[in-house]
Structures are given as C-alpha cells and as structure tokens.
C-alpha cells in the first residue's frame, strides 16, 4: 500500500514540479481545536479571515497532527518524518528545558534536548532553492544555543524558545531568557501575537522581490489565556493554565485579525497570485478550546487530541472552495514543500506524502495508514489509523503505570469514538496492533 501510494504521488508531483517557485506563508496556531474556527463549525468565534482562506482555497477535513503536543508536531514539520526518529521529543519540552520522560531526561542532562540540526530538512529545502527564510513565533525545539533556529539555516528568527510565555512580559515560569531576536535575547513591549505579526510583516516587505518562506508559528491560543485587554492581569504558577471560553475566543479572534493583516500585506505588495498561504494547528485544544465533533483533548490520542484544521490558498493552483478528504498529517506539508521548491530529496528521507498535490488535482482519497506514540512520565499512548477505502479504523493503547487500556473504533461509523469494539471476537484491532508493533521497530531514534 505504501509503495503504491508513493509511486502515485511521485508521478503526479513530477508534473507539478515544473512550475516556478511561489512564496510560501505557513501560519501555525498553537493548541487550536478543530472546532474552533467558524468554517469548521465553531458557533461562538468570528474568524472571517481564516474562513476567507478556506473559501478561496482548500479545506482539509481528514488532517492530523503528528503528535498530541507541541514539540513532536513541530519536529515532524522540520524533518518530514515521524518525530520518534529524533529521540526525546515525543512530548513537549518542559518549561525551563525539562525532559518529561526517560529518553528526554537523559538528553536534557547532556544538554542535547532538542532537534538535531542534521535531521532537519526545513529550511534547507528552501535555502537550496534560493528562498529567503524567516520564522516568527514559537520554536519549542530546544533551548540550548546549538538549537537556535539560525543554526538550522534560517535567515531570521523572532520569537520564544519555549512552549509558553506570558503575552505581555514574554516570560515563562522559569529563569531562562526565552524571547529572542535571531540568536540574542531581547526585551520588547507589546502583546505577543502583535509582536509576532509585526516581525512577519516586515520580513515579507523586505523580501518581496525574491521567493520567501515565512513560517509564523503563533503562540495563540495556548495558555496563559490572556487577551489583548488583559495587560494588567497577573498570572502565576497557580493560575497559569486557567482560562475562560470568553478569553479563549477573544485570543482567537485577535489571531484571525493577525491573519487578516498578513493577507492584506500580501495583497498590497501584489504578491497574492504567487503566494501559497497555509493555516493549520499543531494539535487539538485543551479546555476551554473546542475539538467538536471529536472526542478528547490535547495530550491524548483520541480524535480531539490530534485532529487539526488545515487550510491552503494558492491562486491558480488550488480551486476556490475545494474540499479535500485525503487522510493526511503534518509531515505531509514537508513533502509538499520539497516538491514545490524543486528539492531532490530521496523519498526515504521523508515519511509524508505530497498532500497539497492531492488538493491541486482534486484527487479522490487513497488508502493510507498513520501511526502515533506519545510519552510523558510513566504514561505512553499509541495509536494507528487505517483508511483502506471501505472504512477508517483506529486502534489506541494507553499504558500508565501498570494499567493498560485498549480501544478499537470505526471512525467512519462512530466519529465520536463512543463504541469500543476491541473486545469483540475477531475484531480488526489485532491486525492494527500488529501493524503498530511493526512500525515501532522502524522508528528507532537516530541518536
């Protein structure tokens, strides 16, 4: 199945790769739920600019993050591979550069808790193609100086190294400096979302006459749940993760306004026809976020923890109002970037497929399997999702201490994961469990 899929995508992308390189703006929200955007069914948040992207491009309805937390998904984006290959990055790096499970703790003690530079293919695929590259927002792939984005080849960086910061003081609950301009710590005044937006707009303006890749991993709407009006609201360790739905929606609507500013800049500079804009989330939301119609939240492998919105607009390439149901994951975007830039990476270097090619040609969905493993402390989640054309089935296992639980769901018939079929005789889950075990033997850490 995997070989046939790769051959199919390869033949398609050979034709598509003949076009000139576009600018690419990749906007990544942080902890945004699948059901938190109006065009995905959100009833209480106004997101006209994000909705406009969907109306003018493609909305993906079967897209997954490569992890239920921040760091593993970002690892998958940078490498185009399952995050397990990186070692130590199967859950979010803890505040203050803390490892949260055995392998991550070992690497932190060696000052190696972060993404190895040699494993990253982004921004390398862009710099080889002559792109200017900038990242503005949340990094979360290592605190140590040797994990600074500039070490990977990024031309510009502004943002925070860790997983969360106060939106006004730009500090996290540790003593480490985390707000950086390139490779130096800086202090700024202003709301974090606005600072990130301003830096991204400046980069786009400065590089309007050459191809550019502008990666904007916003911190919004990740906690602390502070709106632009909450400047005088103090957050401490006790209330760092506390928030209301009202605050969450206000943060989200402010993010949508930032998206509107970015789109406005692209249009004012007459770059719209040759700019691919992508909007996604790094995984599902925690409360008070909204993952409906799916079950579960951030941190787990039920649908709500890993289902994510994905929208792409590419005038002249992607038909407005397109709906794509192809099963996809975050690392597929890396494969798409490699094709779009004309990079000649061997297929074995990437685990993803060229998902954007499927949208460009409005192809019918093809069969595929995806896998997950997520570790934190003595808890491990596993999951595999199989879409064979007749149904989408999902096997989940969770081990915490000595307790083990297993589930099997037919996502096609039971999208809310309410009926556990694993105890039924002759169920499909045992086949998926074996496939998962085989996958685990392949994704051994490369360090």
Residues carrying an active site annotation? 70, 140
Phi, psi (rounded to 5 degrees) for 420: -80, 115
Of 304, 327, 299, 339, the C-alpha closest to 80 is 339
User: Tokens standing for 436?
Assistant: 């998962």
Question: For 344, how many CA atoms within 13 A lie in the half-sphere containing its CB?
Answer: 1
The CA distance from 371 to 65, in Å, is 11
Please give the DSSP secondary-structure letter assigned to residue 150: G
The CA distance from 23 to 274, in Å, is 6
H or E stretch at 386:
strand 379-387
Looking at the DSSP bridge assignments, the partners of residue 106 are none
The CA distance from 57 to 313, in Å, is 4
Of 359, 343, 222, 338, the C-alpha closest to 283 is 222
Q: Please state whether 33 falls in left (phi above 0), alpha (psi between -120 and 50) or beta.
A: beta
Instruction: Please name the residue that has the structure tokens 């003595």.
Output: 378
Question: For 268, how many CA atoms within 13 A lie in the half-sphere containing its CB?
Answer: 9
Cβ contact 219:160 at 8 Å:
yes
The CA distance from 430 to 393, in Å, is 12
User: Tokens standing for 79?
Assistant: 């490498």
For residue 136, the Cα-to-chain-centroid distance in whole angstroms is 15
Looking at the DSSP bridge assignments, the partners of residue 398 are 381, 405
């Amino acid at each position: 199945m995997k070989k046939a899929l790769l051959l199919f995508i390869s033949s398609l992308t050979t034709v598509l790769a003949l076009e000139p390189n576009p600018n690419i703006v990749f906007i990544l929200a942080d902890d945004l739920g699948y059901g938190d955007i109006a065009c995905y069914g959100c009833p209480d948040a106004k997101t006209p600019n994000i909705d406009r992207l969907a109306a003018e491009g493609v909305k993906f309805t079967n897209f997954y993050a490569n992890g239920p937390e921040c760091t593993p998904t970002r690892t998958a984006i940078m490498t185009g591979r399952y995050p397990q290959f990186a070692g130590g990055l199967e859950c979010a790096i803890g505040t203050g550069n803390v490892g949260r499970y055995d392998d991550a703790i070992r690497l932190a003690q060696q000052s190696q808790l972060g993404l190895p530079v040699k494993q990253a293919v982004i921004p390398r695929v862009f710099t080889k193609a002559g792109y200017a590259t900038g990242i503005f927002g949340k990094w979360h792939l290592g605190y140590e100086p040797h994990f600074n984005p500039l070490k990977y080849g990024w031309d510009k960086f502004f943002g925070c190294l860790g997983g969360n910061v106060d939106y006004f003081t730009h500090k996290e609950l540790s003593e480490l400096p985390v707000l950086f301009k390139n490779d130096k710590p800086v202090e700024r005044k202003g709301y974090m979302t606005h600072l990130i937006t301003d830096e991204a707009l400046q980069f786009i303006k400065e590089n309007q006459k050459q191809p550019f890749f502008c990666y904007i991993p916003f911190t919004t709407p990740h906690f602390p749940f502070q709106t632009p009006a909450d400047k005088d609201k103090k957050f401490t360790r006790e209330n760092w993760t506390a928030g209301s739905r009202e605050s969450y929606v206000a943060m989200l609507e402010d993010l949508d306004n930032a998206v509107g500013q970015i789109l406005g800049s692209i249009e004012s500079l007459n770059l719209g026809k040759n700019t691919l804009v992508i909007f996604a989330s790094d995984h599902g939301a925690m409360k008070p976020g909204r993952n409906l119609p799916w079950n579960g939240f951030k941190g787990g492998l039920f649908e709500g923890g890993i289902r994510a919105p994905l929208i792409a607009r590419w005038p002249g390439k992607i038909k407005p109002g397109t709906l794509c149901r192809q099963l996809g994951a975050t690392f597929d975007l890396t494969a798409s970037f490699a094709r779009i830039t004309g990079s000649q990476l061997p297929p074995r270097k990437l685990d993803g497929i060229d998902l954007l090619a499927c949208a460009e040609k409005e192809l019918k969905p093809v069969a595929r399997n995806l896998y997950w493993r997520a570790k934190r402390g003595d808890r491990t989640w596993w999951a595999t999702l199989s879409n064979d054309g007749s149904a989408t089935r999902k096997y989940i296992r969770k081990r915490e201490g000595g307790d083990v639980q297993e589930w099997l769901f037919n996502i096609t018939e039971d999208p809310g994961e309410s009926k556990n079929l694993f105890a039924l005789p002759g169920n499909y889950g045992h086949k998926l469990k074996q496939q998962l075990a085989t996958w685990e033997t392949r994704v051994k850490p490369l360090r």
